[in-house]
């Protein structure tokens, strides 16, 4: 785990230790007392690691107590104190797989066991990213709750804990211990956090930077009514002081036995956990949980491994602030702080001006992030960002990076505000911002080069005309070189011209031309989507294609007629009408119609005529793919949600089948959901479906339903 550091002399080392101690103390205070961290957890961990390494390498240069031996921080003054009868300790961290291997090897050695000894088994569970609390039950009744504080003395938060719905005021079940101190974590679910922040922003109140801070701020309220208004959850992961019968003690021999017992007494325990794992099992658990992290309804910052056997736990003992029997295996941080170097303005396909943060490269969520969208001017104001600020950046799963907010305390004297340009940064046209709109636009349309480039990229994308190889680099050269102006110009390109472009040889030019030719044969739905009409996404394009059945019928439809199509309201109808009314766009469409053959209405899977009964629903009659009404199909009238990964088809293909067979494919689970199709690693949507009692089927069952209709099977 050693990180190389430049060599320092004795004085420099002592100065560094003193400075690091002061820095760590400052951050401990900000985190634990003020619920307002100044740096990310990963940065804090890095500081502590450096300090620990220096202190252990140079014990003579580091006398006195170190803040790294201290767990948390002393309580806030307003709360009364609770002395923990069993200290609330912390965990040592592992970051890399080798750190875990070393930990297991060292533990085995300390216990006098071989590294692969069968007794060396672990339980693995989630590392909840919330606030550690201790709940005391006496004869089954909740009598006291406390925060961790400095590990020895915490804050009395009994009244606040009582308002958390998942904390039982009374234990249920059999053989309840005389005294049971439950250790666990209070947290706020991601959805609840987003809703709380929206409410706070609407009221002009403080918005929280992440769910952990929101949970901390909500729990440590002097007025428990405020806590009650904040949706908090609790998960138990261990125990403190316990007084129990000998009989019970003889039955609870492993950590997993205890978690099961806690669950049996009505306490919420995380369900994503495993028992009796060896080192290979731990590796698999880590990988599995990491893959499901972004689907979980709450935040975790890693997983925790604990020796199963309580007898071995006792034998393993402790190192200053942490037990030897457990270790936290941390995930790459999803949040980090970095400098906001500048704010650029990009022009999108519809002329929208989007401010984009240029960031000092920062490793977050497993990748190096250098840019993040800031959406619009109001968003920058709401987040209080200034150029030069140190900001919080978040990148979770595959979600695009986001700037969460600024760290006001670290604002430099030369920080400057962002000003939205009055003119388009690409073509210089004066921008407009309509009242009630958050976005400024360049009104120049296709005469603005930026919008023209985006129009080509949109036209070529997979879900539109699907021209593989017509990417940003080629489009930039084609537009900048004046080789293409209208979309239809794509169909006039030839090999000599294309092979003259940068990074294009004759072979790749020919490939691109083949792709362009292939795209001439298109469905009406694709063609409409490819035109890039504002508010006409993929689904609307398909609805319009099925409703109007020809480009001419659509072009000549009035706003009222357009509104007869499914899901087309006044805004979409007006946008379509004004698109076709613009002579410039009409010319583009005419030009394209001369090049493209529209051979079908849409690209849904072809539905074969069948008459079978699937799950009691009769699928009758013959329905061609251009008709959406009449017959009953397995998903007729149903709202179906896909979650997780399907192994035999993409999500888009599965959605197509749901729609083709009469259903509506939806992205989120609600009481209105009729059915959830759960693939591999299904996460929060599956949990929600189970909570709401919505029917869930697996991939095999889904394939069985669609099988009679597949012409390829
Ligand atoms: S066990 C003596 N298990 O992580 C061992 N801690 O970084 C005490 N945490 O102080 C902790 N999930 O606040 C344990 N499944 C889990 C946990 C967990 C979250 C927190 C806890 C602890 C901190 C250490």
3-state secondary structure 293-323: HHHCCCCEEEEEEEECEHHHHHHHCEECCEE
**Mean pLDDT comparison of 73-87, 159-173, 637-651, highest-scoring range:** 159-173
Q: Say if ligand 1 is within 6 A of residue 90 CB.
A: yes
Beta-bridge mates of residue 326: 306
Q: Lowest-confidence range among 47-51, 289-293, 307-311, 328-332?
A: 47-51
DSSP 481: T
Return the C-alpha torsion angle 98, 104, 108, 114, nearest 10. -70
Task: Please return the burial class of 295, using the count of CB atoms within 10 Å of its CB with bins 0-12, 13-18 and 19+.
Answer: middle
Mean pLDDT, residues 278-291 taken together: 94
Q: What is the mean pLDDT of the chain?
A: 88
- Give yes or no for residue 184 CB within 6 A of ligand 1: no
CA 152–ligand 1 middle distance (angstroms): 15
For residue 75, the model assigns a pLDDT of: 62
| Furthest-apart CA atoms within the chain: distance in Å | 88
Task: Indicate if the alpha-carbon torsion angle 421, 427, 430, 435 is positive or negative.
Answer: negative
Using CB atoms within 10 Å of the CB of residue 659, give its burial: 0 to 12 exposed, 13 to 18 middle, 19+ buried: buried
pTM greater than 0.75: no
pLDDT above 70: residue 266: yes
Cβ(353) – ligand 1 distance below 6 Å: no
For ligand 1, the distance from its centroid to the CA atom of residue 90, given in whole angstroms, is 6
Q: Across 424-559, where does the E strand assignment appear?
A: 521-523
Please name the residue whose Cα sits nearest to atom 10 of ligand 1.
90
Kindly report the three-state secondary structure assignment for every residue of 200-231. Answer: HHHCCCCCCCCHHHHHHHHHCCCCHHHHHCCC
CB 125 near ligand 1, within 6 Å: yes
Predicted confidence (pLDDT) per residue in 353-395, tens digit: 999 999 999 988 878 999 999 999 999 998 899 999 999 999 8
Is ligand 1 within 6 A of the CB of residue 486?
Answer: no
Which of residues 396 and 305 earns the better pLDDT score?
305
Question: Which amino acid residue places its CA nearest to atom 3 of ligand 1?
Answer: 237
Ligand 1 centroid to Cα of residue 305, in Å, is 10
Ramachandran angles phi, psi of 513, nearest 5°: -65, -40
Which atom of ligand 1 is closest in space to residue 323's alpha carbon?
A: 2
CA 125 to ligand 1 centroid distance, Å = 10
Contact yes or no for 323/312 (Cβ under 8 A): no
How far, in Å, is the centroid of ligand 1 from the Cα of 223?
Answer: 27
Q: How far apart are CA 390 and CA 602, in angstroms?
A: 49
Q: What pLDDT score was predicted for residue 73?
A: 63
- CB-ligand 1 contact for 94 (6 Å cutoff): no
Determine contact, residues 321/347, Cβ cutoff 8 Å. no
Across-strand partners of 342?
Answer: 358
On the CB side of 51, how many CA atoms lie within 13 Å of its CA? Answer: 23
**C-alpha to C-alpha distance for 147 and 127, rounded to whole angstroms:** 17
pLDDT the model gives residue 616: 32
Q: Which residue has the higher pLDDT, 259 or 625?
A: 259
Of all residues in the chain, the percent with pLDDT exceeding 70 is 93
Q: Report the DSSP beta bridge partners of residue 437.
A: none
Q: Is 127 one of the catalytic residues? A: yes
The DSSP secondary-structure symbol of 363 reads E
User: Helices 449-460 and 472-480: crossing angle, nearest 10°?
Assistant: 140
Convert the pLDDT of each residue in 558-568 to its tens digit.
999 999 998 89
pLDDT tops 90 at residue 46: no
C-beta of 635 in contact with ligand 1 (< 6 A)? no
CA 309–ligand 1 middle distance (angstroms): 18
What confidence tens digit (pLDDT) does each residue in 664-675 have? 888 888 888 999
Q: How confident is the model at residue 629 (pLDDT cuts 50, 70, 90)?
A: very low
Band (625; pLDDT cuts 50, 70, 90): very low
How far apart are the CA of 303 and the centre of ligand 1, in A? 9
Nearest CA to ligand 1 atom 17: 127
pLDDT, average across residues 231-240: 97
Task: With beta carbons less than 8 A apart as the criterion, state whether 27 and 70 touch.
Answer: no
The active-site residue out of 5, 11, 76, 127 is 127
| Centre of ligand 1 from the C-alpha of residue 91, in Å | 6
Element (H, E) at 392: strand 390-394
Q: Is pLDDT of 543 > 60?
A: yes
* DSSP codes of every residue in 604-616: SPPPPP--EEETT
* Per-residue model confidence (pLDDT) at position 440: 93
At 627, is the pLDDT very low, low, confident or very high (cuts 50, 70, 90)? very low
273 in ligand 1 pocket by Cβ < 6 Å?
no
What does the pLDDT read at residue 337?
87
Average pLDDT score over residue span 421-433: 96
Give CA–CA dist 284/290, Å, rounded.
10
Return the ligand 1 atom nearest residue 127 CA.
12
Most ligand 1 atoms within 8 A of CB, residue of 328, 329, 331 to mutate: 328
* Alpha carbon distance 702, 692 (integer Å): 20
* Whether residue 323 has its Cβ less than 6 Å from ligand 1: yes
Name the closest-CA residue to atom 18, ligand 1.
Answer: 127
Q: Residue range 456-464: average pLDDT?
A: 96
Rounded Cα gap, residues 498 and 347, in angstroms: 26
Residues in a beta bridge with 369: 362
Alpha-carbon distance of 59 to 479, in angstroms, equals 65
Here the tokens at position 606 are: 């072809």
Q: Could you tell me if the CB of 543 is within 6 A of ligand 1?
A: no
User: Is any atom of ligand 1 closer than 6 Å to the C-beta of 89?
Assistant: yes
Task: Please tell me the residue having the least CA distance from ligand 1 atom 21.
Answer: 132
The region of weakest confidence among 211-225, 335-349, 409-423, 598-612 is 598-612
337 Cβ below 6 A of ligand 1: no
Alpha-carbon gap, residue 713 to 711, rounded angstroms: 6
Mean pLDDT on 535-539: 92
What number of helices (H) and strands (E) belong to the chain? 25, 26
Mutate to test the pocket of ligand 1, among 92, 185, 331 (most ligand atoms within 8 A of CB): 185
621 pLDDT band (50/70/90 cuts)? very low
**Which pLDDT belongs to residue 45?**
77
pLDDT given for residue 328 in this prediction: 97
Q: Which of 523-537, 594-608, 664-678 has the highest mean pLDDT?
A: 523-537
Complete DSSP assignment for 137-188: EETTEEEEEEE-TTSSEEEB-HHHHTT-TTS-SB--SSS--SEEEEEEEEE-
Ligand 1 and 270: CB distance under 6 A = no
CA separation for the pair 607, 624 (Å, rounded):
7
Residue nearest to atom 7 of ligand 1 (CA): 91
DSSP letters for 639-651: EEEEESB-SSS-H
**pLDDT of 255 higher than 90:** yes
91 lines ligand 1 (CB under 6 A): yes
The two structure tokens encoding residue 227 = 């806590």
What 8-state DSSP symbol labels residue 484?
-
Q: How far apart are CA 70 and CA 315, in angstroms?
A: 23
- Between the CA of 127 and the centroid of ligand 1 the distance, in Å, is 6
Q: State how far the Cα of 323 lies from the Cα of 317, in Å rounded to an integer.
A: 6
In the beta sheet, which residues pair with residue 154?
82
Which residue shows structure tokens 């550690």?
132
The predicted pLDDT at position 608 comes to 59
Helix (H), strand (E) at residue 66: none
CA-closest residue to ligand 1 atom 22: 90
Instruction: Give the pLDDT confidence score for residue 360 in this predicted structure.
Output: 94
DSSP notation for 84-141: -SS------EE-SHHHHHHHHHHHHHHTT--TT-TT--EEEEEEE-SEEEEEEEETTE
244-251 contacts, C-beta under 8 A, 24 or more apart:
244/175, 244/177, 244/178, 244/179, 244/180, 245/175, 245/177, 245/178, 247/175, 248/175, 248/177
Neighbouring CB atoms inside 10 A of 637's CB total: 11
Q: Quickly state the pLDDT bin for 98 (edges 50, 70, 90).
A: very high
Pocket lining: 154 vs ligand 1, CB cutoff 6 Å: no
The alpha carbon of 237 and the centre of ligand 1 are apart by a number of angstroms equal to 7
């Amino acid at each position: 785990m050693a990180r190389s550091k430049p060599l320092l002399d004795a004085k420099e080392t002592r100065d560094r230790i003193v400075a690091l101690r002061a820095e760590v103390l400052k951050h401990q205070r900000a985190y634990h007392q003020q619920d307002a961290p100044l740096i990310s957890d990963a940065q804090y961990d890095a500081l502590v690691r450096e300090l620990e390494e220096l202190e252990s390498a140079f014990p003579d240069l580091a006398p006195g107590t170190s803040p790294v031996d201290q767990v948390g921080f002393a309580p806030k003054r307003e709360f009364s104190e609770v002395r923990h009868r069993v200290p609330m300790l912390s965990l040592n961290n592992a970051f890399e797989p080798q750190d875990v291997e070393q930990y297991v090897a060292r533990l085995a050695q300390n216990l006098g066991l071989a590294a692969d000894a069968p007794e060396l088994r672990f339980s693995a569970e989630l590392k909840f990213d919330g606030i550690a609390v201790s709940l005391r039950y006496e004869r089954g009744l909740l009598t006291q709750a406390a925060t961790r504080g400095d590990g020895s003395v915490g804050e009395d938060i009994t009244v606040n804990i009582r308002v958390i719905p998942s904390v039982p005021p009374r234990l249920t079940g059999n053989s309840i211990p005389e005294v049971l101190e439950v250790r666990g974590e209070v947290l706020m679910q991601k959805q609840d956090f987003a809703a709380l922040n929206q409410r706070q922003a609407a009221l002009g109140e403080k918005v929280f930077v992440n769910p952990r801070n929101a949970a901390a701020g909500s729990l440590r309220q002097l007025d428990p009514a405020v806590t009650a208004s904040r949706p908090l959850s609790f998960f138990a992961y261990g125990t403190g002081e316990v007084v129990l019968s000998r009989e019970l003690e003889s039955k609870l021999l492993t950590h997993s036995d205890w978690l099961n017992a806690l669950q049996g007494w009505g306490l919420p325990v995380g369900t994503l956990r495993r028992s009796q794992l060896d080192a290979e099992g731990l590796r698999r658990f880590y990988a599995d949980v990491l893959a499901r992290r972004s689907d979980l309804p709450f935040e975790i910052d890693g997983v925790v491994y604990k020796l199963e056997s309580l007898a071995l736990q006792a034998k393993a003992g402790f190192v200053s602030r942490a037990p030897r029997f457990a270790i936290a295996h941390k995930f790459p941080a999803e949040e980090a702080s970095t400098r906001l170097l500048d704010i650029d303005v990009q022009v999108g396909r519809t002329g929208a001006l989007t401010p984009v943060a240029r960031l000092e490269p920062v490793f977050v969520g497993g990748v190096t992030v250098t840019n993040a969208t800031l959406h619009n001017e109001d968003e920058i104001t709401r987040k209080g960002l200034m150029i030069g600020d140190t900001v919080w950046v978040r990148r979770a799963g595959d979600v695009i990076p986001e700037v969460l907010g600024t760290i006001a305390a670290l604002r430099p004297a030369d920080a400057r505000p962002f000003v939205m340009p009055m003119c388009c940064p690409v073509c210089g046209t004066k921008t407009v911002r309509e009242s009630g709109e958050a976005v400024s636009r360049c009104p120049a349309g296709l005469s603005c080069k930026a919008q023209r480039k985006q129009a080509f990229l949109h036209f070529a994308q997979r879900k539109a005309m699907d021209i593989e190889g017509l990417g940003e680099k080629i489009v930039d050269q084609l537009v900048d070189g004046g080789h293409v102006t209208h979309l239809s110009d794509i169909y006039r390109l030839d090999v000599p011209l294309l092979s003259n472009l940068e990074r294009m040889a004759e072979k790749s030019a020919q490939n691109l031309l083949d792709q362009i030719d292939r795209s001439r044969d298109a469905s009406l739905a694709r063609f409409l989507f490819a035109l890039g009409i504002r508010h006409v996404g993929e689904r609307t394009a398909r609805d319009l294609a099925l409703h109007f059945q020809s480009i001419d019928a659509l072009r000549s439809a009035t706003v009222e007629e357009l509104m007869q199509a499914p899901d087309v309201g006044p805004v979409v109808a007006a946008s379509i009408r004004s698109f076709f009314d613009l002579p410039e766009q009409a010319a583009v469409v005419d030009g394209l119609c001369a090049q493209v053959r529209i051979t079908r209405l849409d690209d849904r899977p072809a539905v074969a005529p069948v008459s079978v009964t699937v799950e009691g629903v009769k699928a009758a009659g013959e329905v061609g793919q251009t008709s959406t009404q009449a017959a009953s199909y397995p998903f007729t009238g149903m709202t179906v949600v896909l979650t997780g990964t399907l192994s035999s088809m993409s999500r888009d293909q599965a959605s197509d089948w749901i729609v083709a067979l009469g259903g509506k494919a939806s992205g989120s689970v609600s009481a209105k959901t009729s059915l959830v199709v759960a693939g591999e690693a299904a996460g929060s949507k599956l949990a929600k479906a189970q909570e709401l009692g919505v029917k869930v089927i697996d991939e095999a069952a889904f394939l069985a339903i669609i099988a009679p209709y597949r012409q390829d099977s």
